[in-house]
Amino acid sequence: WAGVWVSMGYARAQVLIAEDATVMSMWASVAGAAVNVALNWLMIPAMGVLGSAIATLISQIVAAHLSTLLVPRVRQFGIMQTKALVFPNPFNRYGKANAI
């Protein structure tokens, strides 16, 4: 599941380059690393390898998605990411919008 967030982070990186906000990418990576270290420290003793996997997933979510929602300059892209997760295919096979 972490691959989903890694892919979203890659797409977000392209937007940050286009918006000249690459410093934000660095801070998002730092936040994700800090969350990963803290959660690994807490979860590995209790859950072992599963705790490490969960910590990695959560840190990817923080770095690739939540950090985008927190920065006003790129918040609109974070909203688009959220919509892509909630409504992954807004069109049915006939090309008409779904009634959601």
| Residue scoring higher pLDDT (5 or 46) | 46
Tokens encoding 5: 């967030």
Q: Provide the token pair at 6.
A: 């890694």
DSSP sequence for 3-44: HHHHHHHHHHHHHHHHTT-HHHHHHHHHHHHHHHHHHHHHHH
pLDDT band per the 50, 70, 90 thresholds, residue 100: low
Give pLDDT tens digits for 31-72: 999 999 999 999 999 999 999 999 999 999 999 889 889 888
